[in-house]
């Protein structure tokens, strides 16, 4: 194992926020479970994938016990990302509240709601089927938050899956000022209440713009964050280092990278050779080929699935759930955080360099030899990249 595990910000010049980085899922979940065990008032969880496997069941039991002790427990998971979630087990865990974000039409048929309400939910599900909740937020007592790209699944556990586990990143924040994260959770929890949703989207947009959190809860925010990212690339002077498992950026994004390359900015793109989405290594390589032709360095991470999403542009750094594809730019709810502490930025930078030592740099002939026979299939997939 070459992961750094967990590293902590011990800057004593300020009491809050205290931040702790994780590059190994086991350390992340150890701390999350411990925080849940100590919860006094509230546990809020928002995740794309919640699997009822060994790790998921362990967390579910802790959450149900805390709920039975009087702690408010709310779990919001995506209906597609958590499609394998076994709903029958909820009968045993009746003390906690769980909702599916944008349920699929067939999933709505099993509810105990009135016929009119069920029918309405089916139509909403059809209309919003392409809009998913891809966020990962674990908020305890409104003062401890876990953010990153780590879902609730044993795929992230080296103890359970060994070398088949995923390489991922997360951040723990201890801060008594987590009201914006709380508001964002409540916003998504009640997203089916359209009038409230519309009103809050306008008021929250102003708050989010001034915060270190990047939340794309409305079209205006999605557009702004995309343009902000492109502007940072155009303004980059030293480096642009990117780790992302689903690298299908917009043409505007690629154009900005090419411009930075011509200014001799050090650009390194790290993508996985192995993926949980079988076709994505091929799709990533097609984008990578165009970048390599413009003298941009593209690397493939070899040991296992790389699921981390990190952006380092000069001294600006972000970590979170956002991929560099149309789903994140246009469709899905995402949550990222901008790292402000120079110590943690340095640690994340070292982790990036450590990942590079376990990667190979792609050349044009490498891409052709690895994926050349699948180029027709890959180019077809690029035609539908709006949905990828």
Nearest to 169 by CA among 139, 154, 149: 149
The CATH number of residue 249's host domain is: 3.30.870.10
CA 74 to CA 43: how far, in whole Å?
A: 6
Please, what sign has the CA dihedral across residues 76, 78, 81, 86? positive
Is residue 210 situated within a structural domain?
no
In this structure, are 253 and 333 located in the same domain? yes
In this structure, are 139 and 224 located in the same domain? no
Tell me what pLDDT residue 200 has: 56
State both tokens at 17. 């926020």
Is residue 55 situated within a structural domain?
yes
In this structure, are 238 and 107 located in the same domain? no
In this structure, are 27 and 92 located in the same domain? yes
In this structure, are 256 and 284 located in the same domain? yes
Locate the DSSP E strands across the chain. Answer: 6-8, 18-22, 42-47, 72-78, 97-101, 137-140, 144-148, 170-174, 213-215, 239-243, 266-272, 297-301, 310-313, 316-320, 335-339, 359-361
CA 121 to CA 99: how far, in whole Å?
A: 13
In this structure, are 65 and 192 located in the same domain? yes
Task: Give how many domains the chain has, as a whole number.
Answer: 2
Tell me what pLDDT residue 382 has: 59
H or E, element range at 295:
none
In this structure, are 246 and 143 located in the same domain? no
H or E, element range at 56:
helix 54-68
State both tokens at 374. 């699948």
Is residue 211 situated within a structural domain?
no
Is residue 207 situated within a structural domain?
no
State both tokens at 230. 């492109």
Tell me what pLDDT residue 206 has: 73
Q: Is residue 8 classed as helix, strand or coil in its secondary structure?
A: strand
In this structure, are 60 and 140 located in the same domain? yes
Is-contact 97 63, C-beta < 8 A?
A: no
Q: Could you say which of 141, 166, 199 is where a domain stops?
A: 199
Is residue 206 situated within a structural domain?
no
pLDDT in tens, 251-297: 999 999 999 999 999 999 999 999 888 777 777 777 877 888 888 99
CA 297 to CA 284: how far, in whole Å?
A: 13
The size of the chain, in residues, is: 388
Regions of the chain where pLDDT drops below 70:
1-16, 105-128, 192-205, 365-388
Query: What is the model's pTM?
Result: 0.87
CA 171 to CA 138: how far, in whole Å?
A: 10
First to last CA, the chain: 32
Tell me what pLDDT residue 2 has: 41
Q: Could you say which of 146, 164, 199 is where a domain stops?
A: 199
In this structure, are 343 and 234 located in the same domain? yes
Contacts of 209 (CB under 8 A, 6+ apart): 224
In this structure, are 175 and 236 located in the same domain? no
Please, what sign has the CA dihedral across residues 316, 269, 382, 133? negative
Identify the domain containing residue 49 by its residue range: 6-199
Q: Could you say which of 199, 233, 251 is where a domain stops?
A: 199
Is residue 205 situated within a structural domain?
no
In this structure, are 165 and 231 located in the same domain? no
Locate the DSSP E strands across 116-247. Answer: 137-140, 144-148, 170-174, 213-215, 239-243
CB-based burial, 92-118: b 16+ in 10 Å, e otherwise:
ebeebebebbbbeeebbeeeeeeeeee
Is residue 213 situated within a structural domain?
no
CA 35 to CA 38: how far, in whole Å?
A: 5
Is residue 253 situated within a structural domain?
yes
In this structure, are 185 and 239 located in the same domain? no
């Amino acid at each position: 194992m070459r992961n750094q595990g967990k590293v902590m910000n011990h800057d004593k010049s300020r009491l809050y926020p205290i931040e702790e980085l994780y590059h190994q899922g086991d350390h992340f979940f150890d701390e999350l479970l411990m925080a849940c065990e100590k919860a006094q008032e509230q546990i809020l969880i928002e995740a794309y994938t919640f699997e009822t496997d060994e790790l998921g069941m362990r967390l579910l039991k802790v959450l149900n016990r805390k709920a039975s002790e009087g702690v408010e427990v709310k779990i919001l998971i995506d209906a597609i990302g958590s499609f394998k979630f076994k709903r029958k087990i909820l009968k045993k865990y009746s003390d906690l509240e769980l909702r599916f974000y944008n349920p699929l039409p067939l999933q709505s048929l099993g509810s105990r709601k009135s016929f009119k309400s069920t029918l309405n939910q089916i139509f909403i599900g059809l209309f919003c089927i392409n809009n998913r909740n891809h966020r990962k937020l674990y908020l305890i007592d409104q003062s401890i938050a876990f953010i990153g790209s780590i879902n609730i699944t044993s795929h992230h556990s080296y103890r359970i899956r060994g070398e088949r586990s995923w390489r991922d990143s997360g951040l723990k924040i201890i801060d008594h000022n987590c009201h914006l994260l709380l508001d964002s959770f409540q916003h998504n929890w009640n997203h089916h209440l359209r009038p409230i949703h519309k009103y809050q989207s306008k008021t929250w947009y102003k708050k989010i713009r001034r915060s270190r959190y990047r939340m794309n809860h409305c079209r205006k925010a999605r557009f702004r964050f995309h343009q902000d990212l492109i502007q940072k690339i155009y303004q980059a002077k030293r480096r642009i280092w990117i780790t992302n498992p689903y690298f299908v950026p917009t043409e505007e994004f690629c154009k900005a990278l090419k411009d930075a390359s011509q200014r001799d900015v050090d650009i390194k793109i790290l993508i996985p050779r192995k993926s949980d989405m079988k076709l994505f290594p091929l799709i990533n390589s097609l984008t990578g080929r165009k970048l390599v032709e413009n003298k941009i360095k593209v690397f493939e991470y070899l040991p296992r699935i790389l699921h981390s999403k990190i952006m380092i542009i000069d001294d600006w750094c972000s970590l979170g759930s956002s991929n560099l594809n149309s789903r994140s730019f246009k469709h899905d709810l995402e949550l990222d955080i901008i790292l402000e502490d120079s110590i943690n930025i340095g640690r994340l930078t070292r982790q990036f360099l450590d990942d590079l030592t376990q990667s190979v740099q792609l050349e044009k002939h490498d891409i052709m030899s690895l994926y050349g026979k699948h180029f027709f299939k890959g180019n077809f997939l690029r035609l539908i990249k709006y949905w990828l």
